[in-house]
Structure 1
Amino acid sequence: MTEKDLMLRGELYYFYDQELNQESRRCKNLIRKLNNTTENQVEDRVQIIKELFGNVGELCWIEPPFQCDYGSNIQVGNVVFFNYDCIVLDTCKVSIGNNVIIGPRVCIYTASHPICAEIRGEGFNIGKPITIGNDVWIGGNSVINPGVTIGSNVVIGAGSVVVKNIPDNVIAVGNPCKVLRSITAEDNEYWNKMKEKYEMQMGSKEE
């Protein structure tokens, strides 16, 4: 049993462990390279993302600056976009589905700390995994807290603080984040009409 095993299992672990520090340094090296890429270094940035994350689908993109703890505990599906200034504390596993937009300055925190000040001061930490489903849009400046699961086809309003699970097919907002309403067939009909209007003016973008 290693400190990393305990960390990934969501149990109390010792933060200053040598193996964890080595993985953290590896992560910081890759993040420095990522954050120093220019808008013209598309292939370089894509390759760094593949090295940084534990698992990456097709068309994952990050707008620097970006920060995370280890990177290897982050798994993303296809067509995932991180806007500017996102932070992912991936003490535990972060699973992100397909077709996900993560707005600017969104913070995803699997990391937590003991409430007991004495134990906290001794360098012990704890965390809980986070899961984000498919077809999710997380508005800017939102905070996703440890242990949360966000369902599929969900919109999280800007500035929300998500402390509890969010079900599928809803719009949720606020601090604490609560379900505002369901996403309905009428919503989809409205946006399909908007797309039809666009295509009448500009033509179809589908290949």
Structure 2
Amino acid sequence: MAIAFSVGPHRVVDPGVPASLVRNEQRIRTRTQESRAFAQRVQLVMILTSRLNALPFDDLDGRRTLLTEIFGEPVPDSLSILPPFYCDYGLGASFGEQVFINQGCFFLDYGGITIGDRVLIGPRVTLCTAGHPVELDERYDFITHAPIVIEDDVWIGAAATITPGVTIGRGSVVGAGTVVAKDVPPLSVVTATSVVERKRLRSVGSSSMGTAEGFDYIKRPDGSVVITHRGRVATTLRGQRAAEFLDEVDDDPQGLMARVTGNYKHGNERTAKQHPRNRH
């Protein structure tokens, strides 16, 4: 038997509604003083963004002045936003250092958008923190909102959409055109079809088998593990071998990395000796 779940102190959602659609969600009723204040702020920010997008591209001082008005406080000197830029509220957005936002991005920030350091956001990306209830009988009467958090060193590709309540973990990559409706783990690559967890192997220094410098492994959705060296595929593990590798990474990362490094190094040496140019 299906059981309805609750979101907030006084709300029960139909069991057929995915929980990911209402996670961390808060709401305000339309046609109230709060919603009218929100609407007035939206109108003001629309005017400010239209002025921002009409500025000559080289008017950096004018752009920074308008961004300060839009966001309600001075923005970091290292923040770079290329116009056109669209925002509906402004007061909900905050930025870390060395953030780059490409052309044509949309920030619907009433629910709060927090962007960490060294974040790269591609063109036409939408960060949407606001919406309406999925329940038909409440959809017209409420505005829903939930925060978006983008942690340090994230790269979001062109035309991606981040939905309310999502956190994107540090160092992750969101592929172009991806719609992200649930949290992305740190150091992951998420595309329209999959999430790939990526972890960097620690360097173990010098040893008789070489070092692990430059090695990564990628855990794929099918359970296989791809080991790369400086971006090149060194080997692919499947089935039991992949499971044993993942277990050993947790139990003995240094020993495993030394062996992986040594095997790859020795394999490259054998390949080089077999090349026709190296035969004597």
Q: Decide whether the 8 Å contact of 1:54 with 1:75 is kept in 2.
A: no
Cα deviation for residue 118 of structure 1 reads: 2.9
Is 1:161 aligned to residue 182 of structure 2? no
Q: Decide whether the 8 Å contact of 1:58 with 1:77 is kept in 2.
A: no
Which residue of structure 2 lines up, in the alignment, with residue 6 of structure 1?
none
Is 1:50 aligned to residue 53 of structure 2? no
Which structure has more relative contact order (CA 8 Å, sep 6+)? It is: 1
AA aligned to 1:179 is V
Cα distance, 1:116–1:136 mapped onto 2, change above 3 Å:
same
- Structure 1 segments, 4+ long, off by >4 Å, are none
Q: Distance in 2 between matches of 1:190 and 1:174?
A: 25
1:28-52 deviation per Cα after TM superposition (whole angstroms, max 9, x unaligned)? 1210111111221011112222221
AA aligned to 2:127 is I
Q: RMSD in angstroms over aligned alpha carbons?
A: 2.1
* TM-score when normalising by structure 1: 0.79
Larger Rg: 2
Quick check: 78-87 or 10-19, which moved more?
10-19
Aligned residue for 1:153, secondary structure, equals: coil
Q: Decide whether the 8 Å contact of 1:54 with 1:74 is kept in 2.
A: no
1:65-90 deviation per Cα after TM superposition (whole angstroms, max 9, x unaligned)? 11111011111111111111111111
Cα deviation for residue 135 of structure 1 reads: 0.7
* TM-score when normalising by structure 2: 0.59
Aligned residue for 1:12, secondary structure, equals: strand
Which residue of structure 2 lines up, in the alignment, with residue 33 of structure 1?
51
Q: Decide whether the 8 Å contact of 2:92 with 2:113 is kept in 1.
A: yes
Identity of aligned residues (%): 34
Cα deviation for residue 132 of structure 1 reads: 0.2
Which residue of structure 2 lines up, in the alignment, with residue 80 of structure 1?
99
Q: Distance in 1 between matches of 2:121 and 2:143?
A: 26
Q: Distance in 2 between matches of 1:179 and 1:50?
A: 36
Cα distance, 1:19–1:155 mapped onto 2, change above 3 Å:
same
* Structure 1: gaps of 5 or more residues: 1-8, 192-207
Which residue of structure 2 lines up, in the alignment, with residue 180 of structure 1?
196
Is 1:119 aligned to residue 138 of structure 2? yes
* Structure 2: gaps of 5 or more residues: 1-23, 202-213, 217-228, 232-280
Which residue of structure 1 lines up, in the alignment, with residue 265 of structure 2?
none
Which residue of structure 2 lines up, in the alignment, with residue 196 of structure 1?
none
AA aligned to 1:104 is P
Q: Distance in 2 between matches of 1:187 and 1:43?
A: 44
Is 1:12 aligned to residue 27 of structure 2? yes
